[in-house]
Structure 1
């Protein structure tokens, strides 16, 4: 027995030596790629090893009541904020942390200090602008004055007594104000139009930070690139503005009869019942004073439940139109668009409501039903930014560009508005997931009106494989700004499409993805929760994929080394040798063409690379081969397609 083992091992060693000497140099390490230890933590009562929330999962809650006023002369937003905060955690809390995102626009903020000299998305257009919150009269419901400290874009507030674990609440009030920046890091701002300013108002009130079982208090400062991580709760918001303004918001309008004219109110109600876009306020009416109530100021009252943010927009320049959104359950919502005369016509914003309706209906049917009463699209100087039930998109966008940005921003209602991941740290779980579902939506919209088929999807491989590219699982603050588009949007979306279409299969993947959304709707998942859910639902061990594509910046390079014939006779089939030259593993699709023009395909599972850097296999054929190619459909991110072909020209 021992002798047999020694002889067998010696034969294996000699064979391996022969293979190494023959093949092209490879940096692939199968023990690293398929290391069975991927997760650094086991499941817990809070987060199941299966990817679902654990039986003891918890999250805290923040409910907001806000009364606010817009001053068009000074561009100042000011108001009164009441927060009811509930501690559902197992920990007693002695203080609260808040996000003060408008403090990014203070001259001395960390974000301003880290914005590069070259053109950047994350700043203010006016170099002399000095914004930020003014906070006064912070007090608790018992009348006691709050002790607090503002640290850049955060505020630490001491509690008068310990907030007990397991559901105890505290109520805090404050007055706040700030000057709206003209260009607020492409997330909020003011657009000048010929008929008046358009205010797109976001990150406009102090918001409580998330306290979770991962990091405790999540206090990553806001510097621009990273977006948001917020607690869910209910919103009651009253917005006072000049009476000639129309105020739209991501919430249900509670007093339409008080803020619309009689004719506009009738059209507004008609829009709830219409499959086609209904004009509520036309371009001609924008310049007609009679199209607004004859008052100085009006208060618009809104509510939004089970959301983690609230945004709004206000202008006297708005054309308004709307249509009904149909949910699978039969429940309806209202698609609404607000845009200036400059954006009207030429296959532009007059189609915004059509796009909004189609986008919401697609995602609602495919993934999870849309939960909000409205979906509002606002034309602005913000290129594209999402908040619950409302999006800000570029006022000059039209045709396919307007569809693309509208579909993308409303897709964000699923990621991260419903599935509340930590955008500040994991942008790919927000932008990447959304970009992935956008591709499927665009294929379906209006029989593919704006769908562009990729002739060669792996043409993106060089961009994805750049040695200087950070891993996807870097925080957006930890990426070069020029790389954010690739790393937060395109590379993760490409990876999910690859996993769906080539590794797992569309039906199995979509089912698992729906389960992930359902498990984590209105909760706070981590990357591991996503990875575990997909693995447990599909039954696949995908550590090799997560490790190579998401955790590391590994490249893929598969190559055809040689083609021979069994017994030197083509009638007996071909022996094909392929190599894996770079660090990433992937399945292999081979297509051979015979002398008669017949195509023969074979797909090899990723497991061929579990203990090999090269692989020999037999292709059943009875004719000589004229061509053998790896990845004939050009869907894998192979960095060197030239060595995918035999004979190599």
Structure 2
């Protein structure tokens, strides 16, 4: 409904007054809490970590260097290793002992992870295999009941070979030092160990191929390695429960990997003896790949298939070197096809190897896309953070689904059907997981966050960068992360099933949506809606560069993003990272005002039209048939001045009063009077609780539209309900909140005014029907066409 503002001063003074927040009207009013600074929720700045979010003058990191000799026993699926570790104490503290991680102890029958995993035996019948594996449900690994799992420590000795006292507590081992290790000192010691390898469980293990009797090995968290000691936690020796990942420190590695002589080994670091472990032909192909801009096959599919059918005749040792990395992993198999290219990723003259290792079961997808996706990831991530500092990045095909990351090497899913065809989802999933896992080289392999405590600091940031890289790969890429609408179902779920993003990794409910999806969406909203791309990109790059090869905390990220952008984001961190409330803005009402021009020619015409409209009631319409039968109509003596008076006729007196009124106005007031603006008062409620910017689209009666944006601080005086006046020269016929799906509003039905008709939900008449295949490649291939899983599509083979 339109209303006329009859007193002009209401336009000048009233606009300001109406725009101000109204008095709190909800018992849930928390505006002051929401928009106050985080304050005591963040750690106090100090000389180790500053208030700006950067490392302080006393910041330190301890480090450990490793010299490892390891053998992969393919016949028994076993790792046998010996290592010499040199640990450097750069902290200001004297250390009486040091802690190492024994991650394979996750698979011990009585590990904390297994004993605390909830399980149930069904009354409808439970298999013996399930009963046996109840204690191994957390890991998801297939356990051979004839074997024992976990690290078996056979020796711990000092540099002189004398035994050191040690204590194993679950997945942690404490070594008591002969004398305290002072600041600036280092300590060298050795450990011998072995363990039985589990079937691949998403992080490490082997995949067995019964068709040819071979295994692909993906070996990670395989050696005893140092825990982190820092200014935040002291020793970070939280037990490994399977969900929270790893907290590690940097060091230099030299690793000699002995495997069957028909295996191909890919690893963290640079191989120092390719010429000795490759055939002359393979080495020649590697040389060719060093100058190629497209992947070159180092080991062809034909060679890998031949190796599948053969038997090893001995052993071979691959020697790798990796500097300034926080971890080390490798993959080994006789089934591996291997392609590679060494390219100038950033155009700075420094070439980086992009490589892929995969069995024939991965083709044709892997030979076409994997290595190119590796190179693209390095370029995309590097442009928004820092240039990739390592010499190589590797993608290995490990099973059908999932992925896992380690420095310079990742284990990735995405497998076509046995006939070589694949769905679009399989293709996108494979490319997406490669981008994600290779991208983890930046977060947390270089920006070295504490994964055991804060999953979102690597998974969330990485999922956001993955989303951006996928858009740069293909404009129409079906990304699984990043878009606000993708998080709505999670945000609107039962609060009892939600955890804040700022929840310790092992305690998170709904792990994927919490640690991957929601942080990625939050960062995208910051970039697109709250900060804008320029400010966000600068601040995000600053964070990455401040903390590369260092160990940041959440506070360091929060503070850097604000420090480098000049945007106060404490309200955002509170709502998105510390809370579980959703976004639900309700456009309750819109009132329409226009200025009373005081011009009798205009105002009396409008008044006449309004009066005539009001007179069109049903009673008036029906009474019109008998209007000539009224007393006044039949007896003229009953009429007087007012029966003949027309209040809407413009008189000379009206015109004189209008001219006198105009003479009193200033030039600015005359312009406003002649503007013919429409003034709309919008009333909005924050039903979800999480305050966010208000974005409203105005659709005008002439078919055009416009968008108004108001920062989240519009809720700072009242987070329950606000009012806002918007002036337009055109009449608005439709108002819509969040028209571009920017803020993850969980209820769009209350975003329109006037309310729009609800769209029907489609349903199927059939109670049950077979699902249509999602693999049109398979459906449309002629029956006479041979399977697509054939190597050699790469012309550089």
Hey, what does 2:87 align to over in structure 1?
Answer: 85
The equivalent position to 1:615 in structure 2, one of 697, 707, 722, is 722
1:567 deviates by 4.6
> Where do 5+ consecutive residues of structure 1 fail to align?
1-13
- Give CA deviations for 1:524-578 in whole Å, capped at 9, x if unaligned: 0000000000000001111100011001112222121221122587843222222
Q: Is the 8 A contact 2:167 2:173 kept in 1?
A: yes
Q: Sort the Cα spacing of 1:374 and 1:99 in 2 relative to 1 into closer, same or farther, 3 A.
A: same
Q: Sort the Cα spacing of 1:260 and 1:390 in 2 relative to 1 into closer, same or farther, 3 A.
A: same
1:366 deviates by 2.9
1:130 deviates by 3.1
Q: Are 2:695 and 1:589 aligned?
A: yes
Higher relative contact order (CA 8 A, sep 6+): 2
Hey, what does 1:385 align to over in structure 2?
Answer: 404
Q: Sort the Cα spacing of 1:539 and 1:625 in 2 relative to 1 into closer, same or farther, 3 A.
A: same
The equivalent position to 2:320 in structure 1, one of 285, 298, 302, is 302
The equivalent position to 2:683 in structure 1, one of 569, 572, 577, is 577
Q: Is the 8 A contact 2:18 2:725 kept in 1?
A: no
The equivalent position to 1:268 in structure 2, one of 260, 267, 286, is 286
Q: Secondary structure at the match of 1:413?
A: coil
1:59 deviates by 0.8
Q: 332-341 or 484-493: which moved more?
A: 332-341
CA–CA distance in 2 between the matches of 1:96 and 1:188? 26
What are the equivalent positions in structure 2 for 1:149-548 lying under 5 Å apart? 149-165=167-183, 167-183=184-200, 185-193=201-209, 194-195=211-212, 196-288=214-306, 296-328=314-346, 329-345=348-364, 347-381=365-399, 383-394=402-413, 396=415, 398-445=426-473, 447-448=474-475, 450-451=477-478, 457-458=484-485, 460-466=487-493, 467=495, 468-480=497-509, 483-548=510-575
CA–CA distance in 2 between the matches of 1:71 and 1:599? 69
CA–CA distance in 2 between the matches of 1:66 and 1:229? 20
Hey, what does 1:49 align to over in structure 2?
Answer: 51
Q: Sort the Cα spacing of 1:288 and 1:123 in 2 relative to 1 into closer, same or farther, 3 A.
A: closer
Q: 557-566 or 515-524: which moved more?
A: 557-566
Q: 117-126 or 532-541: which moved more?
A: 117-126
CA–CA distance in 2 between the matches of 1:584 and 1:596? 35
CA–CA distance in 1 between the matches of 2:455 and 2:38? 25
Q: Secondary structure at the match of 1:573?
A: strand
CA–CA distance in 1 between the matches of 2:310 and 2:445? 33
- Give CA deviations for 1:615-640 in whole Å, capped at 9, x if unaligned: 22222223432211111111112122
Q: Secondary structure at the match of 1:430?
A: helix
Q: Is the 8 A contact 1:629 1:645 kept in 2?
A: yes
Q: Sort the Cα spacing of 1:27 and 1:282 in 2 relative to 1 into closer, same or farther, 3 A.
A: same
Normalized per residue, the structure richer in strand is 1
1:75 deviates by 0.8
> Where do 5+ consecutive residues of structure 2 fail to align?
1-16, 121-133, 417-425, 597-675, 757-797
- Give CA deviations for 1:365-396 in whole Å, capped at 9, x if unaligned: 33211111111111123720000000001262
CA–CA distance in 1 between the matches of 2:382 and 2:272? 24
1:601 deviates by 1.6
Hey, what does 1:3 align to over in structure 2?
Answer: none
Hey, what does 1:141 align to over in structure 2?
Answer: 159
CA–CA distance in 2 between the matches of 1:60 and 1:327? 32
Q: Sort the Cα spacing of 1:452 and 1:390 in 2 relative to 1 into closer, same or farther, 3 A.
A: closer
Q: Sort the Cα spacing of 1:171 and 1:330 in 2 relative to 1 into closer, same or farther, 3 A.
A: same
Query: TM-score if structure 1 supplies the norm length?
Result: 0.92
Q: Is the 8 A contact 1:275 1:324 kept in 2?
A: yes
Q: Secondary structure at the match of 1:125?
A: coil
CA–CA distance in 2 between the matches of 1:333 and 1:601? 45
Q: Is the 8 A contact 2:18 2:723 kept in 1?
A: no
Query: TM-score if structure 2 supplies the norm length?
Result: 0.75
- Tell me which structure has the larger Cα radius of gyration: 2
Runs of 4+ in 1 over 6 A off after TM superposition: 290-294, 453-456
- Give CA deviations for 1:125-161 in whole Å, capped at 9, x if unaligned: 2263531011122111133311011111001110000
